[in-house]
Every structure is written in structure tokens, then in C-alpha cells.
Amino acid sequence: MAAAQGHFSDHSDGDRGTDETAGSTETNPVPPAFRRAVEALRAARLRPEIEVDPTRPPQRLAPYAYAVEAAVVDGEDDLADGRLVLLHDPAGHEAWKGTFRLVTLVRAELEPEMAADPLLPEVCWSWLTGALEARGLAYGEASGTVTMAGSHYFGGLAERRPATQIEIRASWTPREGPNGVPDTGAHLAAWCDLLCQIAGLPPASAEPGAAGTATGGGVVSLPQRRGPQQV
């Protein structure tokens, strides 16, 4: 199983270490709730097909942010990839209806027969909400878009098959626990379930002792695909 890795960041443009918020001081420390939420992300146990790396989070969406990028890997091929950002505003945010927010981008290349399904955008959105609900996660204020874009190749690239990429952009407010901290590790695992699903992998079976492991019940995935994405 893979463990998530990453670093803290706030609005500062500095890059300092892995254990402190960039630009934080003794008079402006990282909020304990945010620190615990990030620690839970780092400790999450994920499917072995997932490769997770730290990435620089957006700088002006919230006072505190943490981000990871991930890819579903088969040999040397990336079947799907994405980014998950954890935002935190200790004062609360009216649009979030909470102090934490998760923001994501997921994308994958589709086979032509799958891209022709007119219901695919609705199905992909249901995969996101279904991945959260399959792990028993409470959330609110979910919103987002599902976009399909096609590419046709000409000239020196004419031998390439037409390609269609699907992209999910979404955000939701994770329900905070009694200590004011959401179960961010389980939300990361659910997000990785979505990433694997859009990559066409079969659902993972439950692993004894692994926190936040989905049973795979009620999950419908795309047919399994092989081949790198075209950039």
C-alpha cells in the first residue's frame, strides 16, 4: 500500500521544509486542526496502483492549504491522474459552510466507444459522490463540472487514433468530527477510489486492518484500458 506524502503551505511564496507552514511564525502557528487533518492525509493507506507526490497548493484560496497529486500507474503508463487540495479557514467560510474544503481535478483518456456515451458525464459525477458514500463519509455543498474534450490528429500525427479526455473538477465540504477535524485520510482514499474507477480498474477488495478501505460494493467501473495518455 502507498502512503501519502506532502508539505504544508500558506500564502507565502517560500519553500521551507516539510513540517511547517511556509511563512508561519511563533506568533502565527499552524492551527492544530489543520495540522491533524494533514497528518491524517499523510498517514492514509492507498491502493498499490496509486503513486502520490507532494505538489505546491494554490496560494490564495484559503489561509492554509495542502495538496497532493496522484496517478494510477500500470507499468510505465499513467491511466489517470489528478490533484487533491485541502483548504482550511479557521474563521469559517460562508460558501463552504465549514472550515475545511476539498478541491479536486481528475482526468483520464477514454476509448472512443466510451466517449460516445451521452450519459457518461452524469455517470462520472455519480462516481465521485458514490466513492464518498461507499466509505460512509458525510459531506456537503458538493459542486463541480465534468468536461469531455476530443482530439483529432493530422499531418505528422495522423497515425494517432482520435482521443477523448474526460476531466472532473469538483469541491466539497467534509463533515468535521467532534474535535473539529474531518476524516481527511478517508476522503483521500475515496478520492483515490474515484481515480482508479475512471482509470478502468476493478474495485479493490477490503483489506483487514486498513482504515477507510472500501468494500467495492455497488461500484461500476469503466472497462480496463491500457496505453499512455496523449499530451
pLDDT digits (tens, 9 = 90+) for 205-222: 544 334 444 433 333 444
CB of 142 closer than 8 Å to CB of 130: no
The CA distance from 227 to 231, in Å, is 12
How much is the pTM?
0.77
Which residue is it, cell 462516481?
Answer: 127
Q: Which residues contact 63 (CB under 8 A, 6 or more apart)?
A: 10, 11, 88, 89, 90
Which residue is it, cell 484560496?
Answer: 61
Taking only the tens place, the pLDDT of each residue in 110-147 is 776 666 677 888 988 999 999 999 999 999 999 999 98
Q: Which three cell numbers stand for residue 42?
A: 499523510
Concatenated DSSP letters for 165-199? EEEEEEEEEEPB-TTS-B-HHHHHHHHHHHHHHHH
Per-residue confidence of the chain (231 residues) as pLDDT tens digits? Answer: 455 544 344 433 333 333 334 334 455 688 999 999 999 999 998 888 899 988 999 888 999 999 999 999 887 778 899 999 999 999 988 999 999 999 999 998 877 666 667 788 898 899 999 999 999 999 999 999 998 887 777 878 778 777 778 899 999 999 999 889 999 999 999 999 999 998 888 877 544 334 444 433 333 444 444 343 333
> Is beta strand 64-74 parallel, antiparallel or unpaired with respect to 50-54?
antiparallel
